[in-house]
C-alpha cells in the first residue's frame, strides 16, 4: 500500500547528450523497499515552499522523507501545514531534480549539457576559464582587477540565515553590492508607501477587531503568512468579525468574507479616499487624536478630501456610493477595526498612493492611534563579526535615471533592461533561488538579454532543476532542496511574540547536490576571506548557542530536538515612531501629491469595446513559479483560463471554454475563457503559476534532459494542459513613485478565435 | 484512468449480491463500542486542499486516484456572487452500497463503523466503484498487477481503494491525516459512541445532514452548513 513512498531513485541514466556522463547512484535512494513496519524518524524542521516558512515535522523511514506535517509547538502555524508544504516531498524526489553540476554545450539555451565535477565547476567560478570557446572571468580575477562589483548576485525568495550568510557575510566580504532581489515584482509599492509614511504598523491587529476592510489581499488564498493567517482568520470568523473584501475578482477570501465588493482594476484608491471622506463628513473621528497621530490637521484633511465623495468614487470605481457610505459608517462606528491590503490594491500605477490612502483612512478611523509605533522583529544573535557593506555596485538597480521618485533599493525587474542598455556589465552574473526569465514581465525580452554573451559574459545559475532561467546558463550548480539544509529562522506570532526556529536536513543532500550556502563558505575560503564560520550548520549552531533564551533552554541541541523556541510570556516590544507622515515632503518635492490623492492610469481611459484590464492572482496550491514541478499540486491546479465577467463575455461573443486571443502592447497570447459572475466586467483575470516551458515534466509536460525516469506517477498523469504564462504579455514597467511592477494594469484587447 | 462500468450493468449485479451483503450486515451482533465519523464544517472550509495533499502523502495515493478531494462552486449573480467548497470522501455508510455490490465480500464494515476494503479479496471487478453514489472509491492505477488471477488472463488487476480514516494512524492514537492538517478546522473527526466527543456534540447538538440522503445509505460523514445543497452533488462527483 505504501509502495509509492519508496519510489526509487535508482540510477541516473546517461542521456545521449551528455559527453561525460557517468551513471551515478544516489546513495540514500538505493533500490530498497522500506518495509511498512520500519521505524519512523521525526525531524523538526521548517518549510520553504512559500515565504510563510511554517514549522514542520518531517517523517523519514529508512532515510527517506515520507511525510510532512505541521509542528504543533509552533504558535504560528499551530501544527498545520498547507498543500504546498506537504508537497515538499515532490521537490526533494523530483524526477527532474538537478543532481550534479552542468556546463553548457553549444549556444546558450541549446539544452545540451556536459556533466562536470564540483572541482571543475568551482574552479571555473574562482579562476574563470573557457565556455564554448569564450573566455570568462572568475571571482579571483574580478577582485584582483579591483572590480568586485562586476560579480552580480541576483536572488529570489531567499530568507533566514541563508540570506544573512550570503548577503551580509559572503558578498560583503567579497566586496560587491551588486545584488538584485525580487522586491519590485513582489510588494515594493506597499513597502515604499510604508516607508514614506513613517515606517509604522497599525496599533490594531485583526485578532482583536470587530471589522476588517480588506483591499485586494488574498488572505486565505495565498497570504504572505499563509497558514498563520488562515489560523487567525478562522478564529476571527468564529468570533463573528465582519470582513469586507474589495477586489477585482472573487477570491476565496472574498467568498469567505461577509461581502465581496468588486472594484474596477486600479481604482481602490478612489474607494479608500471616499471612505475617508465619509468618515470626516459624518464626524466619525477624534480631531485631537488625528492631530496627535499624523503630521496634518483635520482642517487640512477636510479640505483635501472634500472632492472625493462616494458619488465621485462610484463614477471611477463602479462601487455604489450608498455602499461606500454604509461601509464607512459601519467602520467608523465599530469599537475596533483595521484595514488590510496587498498586491491587488497596490501593485498598480497608483499603488503607493493607494497604500498611503489606506494609512490615512486608518488614521482618521483611529486605528493607528497617537502611540505611533512598529512591532520589533525577532532577532537572532550571530556571534560572528559582520564585514562592512561594500560601496562597489553596478548602476543597474534603479531603473533609468530620474524614472522613479523613490528609486533607492532594488528595481529588480529592470536589471536586465539596464544591462541591455549598457548601463553596467556584470562579468559574472549568478542567479540564485530565482527564475527571472519566468517571474518578471516580458519573458521573451528577458530570454534575449540573457542569451547575449557580450552583455553577460558568464551566467551561472544555482537551482534545484532546469528552470527557464537556468536552462540559459553557462554553468549550473545543483542546490540542496529546502529539506536538505540548515537555516535559522525567526518570525513573529499573531501577538507579535518572536518565534525562533530552525530548518534542518531530513537527510544528506541527494546526489551531488550541495547547499549553496556551504559552497559560498568554501568559495570564501578559496578567496582567502575569513567569514568566521565553516558552514551553514556552524552558523546556525552559533546562533542557537548565543541567542538569549534559546541558549538557556539548551541551545543547538534543544533546537535540533524541538525545532522551535519561544517565550509565551514575552512582552511584545515596539519601536517608537514619530508622527505618521500622511503628508510626505519627499513626494511633494518629487512632484507628486504630498497627501494621498487620486491618480488615474492614463492607459485606462476611454478603453475600446474589446479592451479589458489584465489582472493577476495566485491560487492556494502554488507559489508564483517554484511549485509547479510538484505533481500533487499540479494535479490539483494545471489550467489557468482567463476569467471574464458573463456580461462582458456576451458583449464580446465569447462563451465558456472558447479560445481567445489577448493582445497587449508587447505581444499576444492564446488561452481559454472562463465565464464567471466572479470578476469585474472591465477586468480579465488570469492566475500566475502555469505555462512553464522548462522545469520538468510536471511543470511543463516535458521532461528535461536530466530526467531520472524513476517516477511511476509520470505514466499516470491524466491532464493535458499545463496552462499558459501571462507574464509574456506584461511589460516590465514600474509605478512612477516606487518603480514596482504594475502587475494589474496591462490593457489587452480580447477576441474570440475560431 | 480505467473506465467505470456501465451503471445499468452494475445494477443487475447489485440485485444478485445485495441480499447476500445485507444479510451479512443484519447478522452483525450488538451495538458497536465505537462509531467513527467525521463532520465537515462547510462554513469553515476554505477550499485550500491541504486535506487533499495530506491524504495523497499519508496513503501513497497515485496520480489519478484520490481518497478525498474538494469541489468548488460559484453561486449567485454578479455582484452578489460567492463560492462554496465541498470536501468529499468515503462516507463510511451504515448501509453501504459498496459492501452489497462486492461479489468477493472484499468490503466490510468493522465494529468501529469503518468501511474497509480487504485488498487480498479484491480482484478489481469495480462493482463498488459504480455502486458508490459519492464517487469515493477509485481503482488504484498503481497497484501491482495480480498475476494470481488465472481466470482472467487477459486482464491486469488493479484494486479498489478508498478512505479508511487513516486506520494506521488511528492505531497509533493519531487522527486522520486530513483533519490533522486542516488549517481552517473544517474537518472534525471522532467517535459518535462517545457522547463527549466533539463530533457527538456537533452531530447531536444541531441538525447536520449527509450527502445524497435520498440514497438511504446513512452516511457517517456529516455536513454542517447548508451549502452542500447548492451543489449538484451527484453531477459534480462524477467529474474529475
Q: B9-52: per-residue pLDDT in tens?
A: 554 554 555 544 444 544 555 556 899 999 999 999 999 999 99
Of B53, B76, B181, the CB nearest to A677: B76
Q: Exposed, middle or buried: residue B20 (CB in 10 Å: 0-12, 13-18, 19+)?
A: middle
Separation in Å, CA A742 to CA A185, A189, A350, A725, A733: 8, 9, 9, 16, 6
Cell 540565515 belongs to A161
Asked if B83 has any chain A CB less than 8 Å from its own CB, the reply is: yes
B64 vs A contacts (CB less than 8 Å) = 716-718
Separation in Å, CA A260 to CA A239, A240, A327, A680, B85: 19, 16, 12, 11, 17
Of A79, A220, A262, the CB nearest to B46: A220
Give CA torsion, residues A704, A710, A714, A716, to 10 deg: 170
> Is residue A594 in a domain?
no
Is the CB of residue A363 less than 8 Å from the CB of residue A476?
Answer: no
Say if the Cβ atoms of A677 and B78 lie within 8 Å: yes
SS3 string, A716-753, reads: HCCCCCCCCCHHHHCCCCECCCCCCECCCCEEEEEEEC
Order of strands, edge to edge, in the sheet holding A242-247? A259-262, A242-247, A211-215, A337-341
Is the CB of residue A71 less than 8 Å from the CB of residue A44?
Answer: yes
In 3D, which of A583, A494, A19, A490 has the Cα closest to residue A229?
A494
Distance in angstroms (rounded) separating the CA atoms of residues A492 and A50 = 16
Phi, psi dihedral angles at A357 (to 5 degrees):
-65, -35
Overall pTM > 0.90: yes
Q: Residues A218, A223, A226, A228: is their CA dihedral positive or negative?
A: negative
ipTM metric = 0.93
Of B50, B82, B177, the CB nearest to A83: B50
Residue to mutate among A60, A632, A713, with most B CBs inside 10 A, is A632
Of B54, B60, B78, the CB nearest to A2: B60
Q: Residues B59, B64, B67, B73: is their CA dihedral positive or negative?
A: positive
Q: Are residues A471 and A490 in the same domain?
A: no
C-alpha cell, B185: 478546522
Beta-carbon pairs below 8 A across chains A and B: 129
A718 vs B contacts (CB less than 8 Å) = 1, 63-64, 240
Q: Are residues A222 and A358 in the same domain?
A: yes
Q: Are residues A216 and A303 in the same domain?
A: yes
Task: Tell me how far apart the terminal alpha carbons of chain B are, to the nearest angstrom.
Answer: 11
C-alpha cell, A260: 465581496
Kindly indicate the confidence band of residue B231, based on its pLDDT and cuts at 50, 70 and 90. confident
B240 vs A contacts (CB less than 8 Å) = 718
A69 vs B contacts (CB less than 8 Å) = 180-181
Asked if A94 has any chain B CB less than 8 Å from its own CB, the reply is: no
Q: Exposed, middle or buried: residue A42 (CB in 10 Å: 0-12, 13-18, 19+)?
A: middle
Distance in angstroms (rounded) separating the CA atoms of residues A433 and A220 = 25
B83 vs A contacts (CB less than 8 Å) = 250, 252, 255, 678
Looking at the 3D structure of chain A, how many domains does it have? 4
Asked if A240 has any chain B CB less than 8 Å from its own CB, the reply is: no
> Is residue A518 in a domain?
no
> Is residue A130 in a domain?
yes
Say if the Cβ atoms of A230 and B48 lie within 8 Å: yes
For the segment B158-175, what is each residue's pLDDT rounded down to a tens digit?
Answer: 899 999 999 999 999 999
Question: What per-residue string of b and e applies to B167-202 under the rule 16 or more CB within 10 Å gives b?
Answer: bebbeeeebbbbbbbbbbbbbbbbbbbeeebebbeb
Distance in angstroms (rounded) separating the CA atoms of residues A310 and A277 = 8
Is the CB of residue B165 less than 8 Å from the CB of residue B67?
Answer: no
Q: Are residues A249 and A350 in the same domain?
A: yes
Distance in angstroms (rounded) separating the CA atoms of residues A577 and A373 = 5
Pinpoint the alpha helices (H) of A547-597. 550-553, 555-562, 585-589
Say if the Cβ atoms of B183 and A647 lie within 8 Å: no
Supply the CATH classification number for the domain B7-237. Answer: 3.30.70.20
A86 vs B contacts (CB less than 8 Å) = 50, 53-54, 57, 181
Contacts of residue A272, defined as CB under 8 A and 6 or more positions apart, other chains included, come to A215, A354, A357, A358, A360, A361
Residue to mutate among B48, B168, B174, B230, with most A CBs inside 10 A, is B48
Closest chain A residue to the Cα of B65, Cα to Cα: A716
CATH of the domain at A651: 2.40.40.20
Cell 458508490 belongs to B132
Residue B169, min C-alpha distance to chain A (Å): 12
> Is residue A574 in a domain?
no
A237 vs B contacts (CB less than 8 Å) = 43-44
Q: Are residues A247 and A335 in the same domain?
A: yes
Of B46, B52, B62, the CB nearest to A4: B62
Distance in angstroms (rounded) separating the CA atoms of residues A133 and A683 = 50
Residue A390, min C-alpha distance to chain B (Å): 44
- The enclosing H or E element of B186 equals none
Given a cut of 70, the residues of chain A with pLDDT beneath it are 1-38, 203, 409
Q: DSSP assignment, residue B209?
A: B
- The enclosing H or E element of B173 equals none
Q: Strands A151-155, A428-432: parallel, antiparallel or unpaired by DSSP?
A: parallel
B184 vs A contacts (CB less than 8 Å) = 220, 230, 234
Residue-level pLDDT at A376: 78
Q: Strands A211-215, A179-180: parallel, antiparallel or unpaired by DSSP?
A: unpaired
Distance in angstroms (rounded) separating the CA atoms of residues A225 and A218 = 11
Cβ under 8 Å to B: A residues 570-609: none
Is the CB of residue A466 less than 8 Å from the CB of residue A693?
Answer: no
Of A4, A69, A646, the CB nearest to B181: A69
| Angle, helix A321-333 to helix A268-281, in steps of 10 degrees | 60
Asked if B120 has any chain A CB less than 8 Å from its own CB, the reply is: no
C-alpha cell, A633: 499540486
Task: Tell me how far apart the terminal alpha carbons of chain A are, to the nearest angstrom.
Answer: 47
Is the CB of residue A748 less than 8 Å from the CB of residue A662?
Answer: yes
Q: Which domain, by its residues, includes A451?
A: 102-178+392-478
A712 vs B contacts (CB less than 8 Å) = 62, 142
Cis peptide bond upstream of B79, omega within 30: yes
Phi, psi dihedral angles at A499 (to 5 degrees):
-120, 125
| Angle, helix A351-364 to helix A268-281, in steps of 10 degrees | 20
Residue-level pLDDT at B235: 64
Helices (H) and strands (E) in chain B, counts: 8, 9
Distance in angstroms (rounded) separating the CA atoms of residues A588 and A611 = 34
Q: Are residues A491 and A453 in the same domain?
A: no
Residue A5, min C-alpha distance to chain B (Å): 6
Order of strands, edge to edge, in the sheet holding A428-432? A112-115, A102-105, A475-478, A458-463, A428-432, A151-155, A179-180
Asked if B32 has any chain A CB less than 8 Å from its own CB, the reply is: no
Residue B55, min C-alpha distance to chain A (Å): 10
Residue-level pLDDT at B5: 45
Say if the Cβ atoms of B142 and A262 lie within 8 Å: no
Of A70, A234, A252, the CB nearest to B47: A252
Q: Strands A242-247, A259-262: parallel, antiparallel or unpaired by DSSP?
A: parallel
Closest chain B residue to the Cα of A261, Cα to Cα: B79
Cβ under 8 Å to A: B residues 156-185: 177, 180-185
Residue-level pLDDT at A754: 81
Of B53, B61, B79, the CB nearest to A86: B53
B54 vs A contacts (CB less than 8 Å) = 86
C-alpha cell, B55: 491524504
Asked if A635 has any chain B CB less than 8 Å from its own CB, the reply is: yes
Residue B27, min C-alpha distance to chain A (Å): 31
Contacts of residue B73, defined as CB under 8 A and 6 or more positions apart, other chains included, come to B83, B84, B86, B230, B231, B236
DSSP, collapsed to helix, strand or coil, labels residue A635 as: helix
Cβ under 8 Å to B: A residues 710-729: 712-713, 716-718
Is the CB of residue A610 less than 8 Å from the CB of residue A360?
Answer: no
C-alpha cell, A231: 489560523
Asked if A677 has any chain B CB less than 8 Å from its own CB, the reply is: yes
The DSSP code sequence of B61-105 is PPTT--SEEEEEEEESSTTS-EEEEEEEE----TT-HHHHH-TT-
Say if the Cβ atoms of A645 and B81 lie within 8 Å: no
Q: Are residues A508 and A360 in the same domain?
A: no
Average pLDDT, chain B: 84
Closest chain B residue to the Cα of A250, Cα to Cα: B82
Strand stretches in chain B, DSSP E: 36-41, 68-75, 82-89, 107-109, 115-117, 138-139, 160-161, 187-191, 221-224
Cβ under 8 Å to A: B residues 196-225: none
Q: Residues A59, A65, A67, A71: is their CA dihedral positive or negative?
A: positive
Q: DSSP assignment, residue A457?
A: S
Closest chain A residue to the Cα of B78, Cα to Cα: A677
The domain segmentation of chain B, as residue ranges, is 7-237
Q: DSSP assignment, residue A101?
A: -
Give the Cα-Cα-Cα angle A182, A272, A598 (nearest 5 degrees): 80
Q: Which residues pair with A479 in a beta bridge?
A: A514
Say if the Cβ atoms of B78 and A717 lie within 8 Å: no
Phi, psi dihedral angles at A670 (to 5 degrees):
-115, 135
Is the CB of residue A213 less than 8 Å from the CB of residue A246?
Answer: yes
C-alpha cell, B54: 495530506
Asked if A87 has any chain B CB less than 8 Å from its own CB, the reply is: yes
Say if the Cβ atoms of B78 and A262 lie within 8 Å: yes
Distance in angstroms (rounded) separating the CA atoms of residues A422 and A416 = 10
Say if the Cβ atoms of B53 and A2 lie within 8 Å: no
Distance in angstroms (rounded) separating the CA atoms of residues A194 and A355 = 8
Amino acid at each position: 500500500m505504501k509502495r509509492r513512498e519508496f519510489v526509487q531513485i535508482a540510477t541516473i541514466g546517461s542521456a545521449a547528450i551528455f559527453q561525460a556522463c557517468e551513471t551515478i547512484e544516489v546513495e540514500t535512494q538505493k533500490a530498497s523497499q522500506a518495509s511498512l513496519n520500519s521505524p519512523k524518524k521525526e525531524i523538526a524542521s521548517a518549510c520553504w515552499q512559500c515565504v510563510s516558512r511554517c514549522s514542520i515535522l518531517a517523517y523519514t523511514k529508512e532515510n527517506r522523507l515520507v511525510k510532512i506535517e505541521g509542528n504543533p509547538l509552533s504558535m504560528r502555524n499551530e501544527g498545520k501545514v498547507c498543500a504546498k508544504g506537504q508537497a515538499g516531498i515532490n521537490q526533494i524526489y523530483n524526477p527532474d531534480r538537478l543532481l550534479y553540476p552542468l556546463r553548457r554545450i553549444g549556444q546558450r539555451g541549446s539544452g545540451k549539457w556536459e556533466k562536470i565535477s564540483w572541482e571543475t565547476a568551482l574552479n571555473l567560478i574562482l579562476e574563470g576559464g573557457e565556455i564554448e570557446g569564450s573566455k570568462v572571468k572568475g571571482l579571483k580575477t574580478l577582485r584582483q582587477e579591483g572590480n568586485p562589483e562586476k560579480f552580480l548576485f541576483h536572488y529570489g525568495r531567499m530568507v533566514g540565515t541563508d540570506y544573512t550568510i550570503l548577503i551580509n557575510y559572503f558578498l560583503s566580504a567579497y566586496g560587491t553590492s551588486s545584488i538584485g532581489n525580487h522586491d519590485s515584482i513582489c510588494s515594493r509599492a506597499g513597502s515604499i508607501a510604508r516607508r514614506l509614511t513613517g515606517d509604522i504598523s497599525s496599533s490594531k491587529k485583526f485578532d482583536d477587531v470587530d471589522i476588517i476592510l480588506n483591499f485586494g489581499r488574498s488572505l486565505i488564498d495565498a497570504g504572505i503568512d499563509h497558514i498563520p493567517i488562515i489560523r487567525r482568520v478562522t478564529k476571527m470568523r468564529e468570533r463573528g468579525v465582519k470582513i469586507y473584501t474589495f477586489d477585482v475578482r472573487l477570491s476565496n477570501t472574498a467568498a469567505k468574507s461577509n461581502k465581496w465588493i468588486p472594484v474596477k482594476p486600479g481604482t481602490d484608491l478612489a474607494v479608500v479616499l471616499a471612505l475617508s471622506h465619509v468618515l470626516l463628513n459624518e464626524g466619525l473621528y477624534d480631531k485631537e487624536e488625528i492631530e496627535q497621530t499624523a503630521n496634518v490637521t483635520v482642517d487640512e484633511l477636510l479640505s483635501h478630501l472634500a472632492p472625493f465623495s462616494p458619488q465621485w468614487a462610484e463614477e471611477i470605481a463602479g462601487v455604489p456610493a450608498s455602499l461606500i457610505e454604509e461601509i464607512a459608517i459601519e467602520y467608523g462606528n465599530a469599537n475596533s477595526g483595521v484595514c488590510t491590503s496587498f498586491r491587488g490594491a497596490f501593485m498598480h500605477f497608483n499603488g503607493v498612493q493607494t497604500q498611503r490612502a489606506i494609512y490615512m483612512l486608518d488614521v482618521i478611523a483611529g486605528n493607528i492611534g497617537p502611540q505611533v509605533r512598529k512591532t520589533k522583529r525577532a532577532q537572532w544573535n550571530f556571534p560572528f563579526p559582520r564585514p562592512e557593506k561594500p560601496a562597489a555596485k553596478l548602476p543597474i538597480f534603479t531603473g533609468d535615471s530620474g524614472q522613479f521618485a523613490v528609486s533607492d533599493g532594488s528595481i529588480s525587474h529592470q536589471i536586465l533592461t539596464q544591462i541591455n542598455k549598457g548601463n553596467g556589465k556584470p562579468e559574472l552574473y549568478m542567479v540564485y533561488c530565482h527564475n527571472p526569465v519566468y517571474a518578471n514581465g516580458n519573458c521573451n525580452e528577458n530570454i534575449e538579454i540573457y542569451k547575449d554573451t557580450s552583455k553577460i559574459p558568464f551566467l551561472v545559475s544555482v537551482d534545484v532543476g532546469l528552470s527557464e532561467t537556468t536552462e540559459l546558463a553557462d554553468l549550473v550548480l545543483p542546490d540542496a532542496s529546502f529539506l536538505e539544509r540548515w537555516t535559522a529562522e525567526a518570525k513573529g506570532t499573531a501577538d507579535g511574540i518572536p518565534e525562533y526556529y530552525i530548518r534542518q536536513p531530513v537527510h544528506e543532500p541527494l546526489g551531488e547536490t550541495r547547499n549553496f550556502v556551504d559552497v559560498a563558505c568554501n568559495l570564501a575560503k578559496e578567496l582567502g576571506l575569513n567569514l568566521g564560520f565553516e558552514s551553514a550548520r556552524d552558523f546556525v549552531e552559533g546562533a542557537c548557542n548565543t541567542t538569549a533564551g534559546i541558549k538557556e533552554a539548551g541551545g543547538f541541541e534543544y533546537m535540533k530536538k524541538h525545532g522551535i523556541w519561544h517565550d509565551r510570556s514575552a512582552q511584545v516590544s515596539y519601536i517608537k515612531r514619530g508622527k505618521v507622515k500622511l503628508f510626505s515632503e519627499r513626494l511633494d518635492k518629487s512632484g507628486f501629491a504630498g497627501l494621498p490623492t487620486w491618480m488615474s492610469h492614463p492607459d485606462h481611459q476611454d478603453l475600446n469595446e474589446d479592451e479589458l484590464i489584465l489582472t493577476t492572482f495566485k491560487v492556494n496550491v502554488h507559489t508564483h513559479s517554484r511549485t509547479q514541478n510538484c505533481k500533487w499540486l499540479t494535479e490539483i491546479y494545471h489550467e489557468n483560463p482567463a476569467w471574464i465577467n458573463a456580461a462582458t463575455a456576451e458583449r464580446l461573443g465569447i462563451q465558456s471554454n472558447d479560445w481567445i486571443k489577448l493582445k497587449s502592447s508587447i505581444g499576444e497570447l492564446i488561452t481559454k475563457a472562463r465565464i464567471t459572475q466572479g470578476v469585474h466586467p472591465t477586468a480579465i483575470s488570469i492566475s500566475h503559476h502555469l505555462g512553464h516551458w522548462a522545469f520538468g515534466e510536471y511543470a511543463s509536460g516535458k521532461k528535461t534532459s536530466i530526467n531520472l525516469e524513476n517516477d511511476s506517477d509520470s505514466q499516470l498523469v491524466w491532464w493535458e494542459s499545463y496552462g499558459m504564462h501571462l507574464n509574456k504579455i506584461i511589460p516590465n514597467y514600474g509605478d512612477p513613485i516606487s518603480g514596482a511592477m504594475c502587475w494589474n494594469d496591462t490593457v489587452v484587447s480580447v477576441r474570440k478565435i475560431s | 484512468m480505467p473506465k467505470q462500468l456501465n451503471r445499468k450493468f452494475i445494477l443487475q449485479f447489485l440485485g444478485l449480491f445485495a441480499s447476500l451483503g445485507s444479510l451479512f450486515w443484519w447478522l452483525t451482533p450488538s451495538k458497536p463500542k465505537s462509531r467513527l465519523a467525521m463532520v465537515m464544517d462547510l462554513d469553515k472550509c476554505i477550499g485550500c486542499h491541504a486535506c487533499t495533499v495530506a491524504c495523497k502523502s499519508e496513503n501513497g495515493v497515485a496520480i489519478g486516484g484520490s481518497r478525498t478531494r474538494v469541489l468548488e462552486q460559484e453561486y449567485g449573480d454578479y455582484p452578489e456572487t460567492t463560492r462554496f467548497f465541498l470536501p468529499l470522501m468515503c462516507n463510511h455508510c451504515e448501509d453501504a452500497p459498496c459492501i452489497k455490490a462486492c461479489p468477493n465480500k472484499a468490503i466490510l464494515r468493522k465494529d468501529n463503523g469503518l468501511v474497509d476494503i480487504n485488498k487480498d479479496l479484491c480482484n478489481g471487478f469495480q462493482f463498488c466503484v459504480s455502486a458508490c453514489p459519492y464517487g469515493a472509491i477509485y481503482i488504484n492505477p498503481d497497484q501491482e498487477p495480480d498475476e494470481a488471477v488465472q481466470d482472467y488472463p487477459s486482464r491486469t488487476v488493479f484494486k479498489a481503494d478508498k478512505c479508511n480514516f487513516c486506520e494506521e494512524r488511528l492505531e497509533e492514537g493519531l487522527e486522520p491525516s486530513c483533519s490533522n492538517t486542516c488549517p481552517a478546522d473544517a474537518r472534525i473527526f471522532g467517535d459518535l459512541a462517545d457522547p463527549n466527543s466533539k463530533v457527538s456534540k456537533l452531530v447531536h447538538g444541531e441538525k447536520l445532514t449527509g450527502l445524497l440522503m435520498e440514497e438511504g445509505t446513512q452516511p457517517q460523514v456529516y455536513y454542517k452548513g447548508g451549502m452542500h445543497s447548492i451543489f449538484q452533488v451527484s453531477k459534480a462527483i462524477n467529474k474529475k
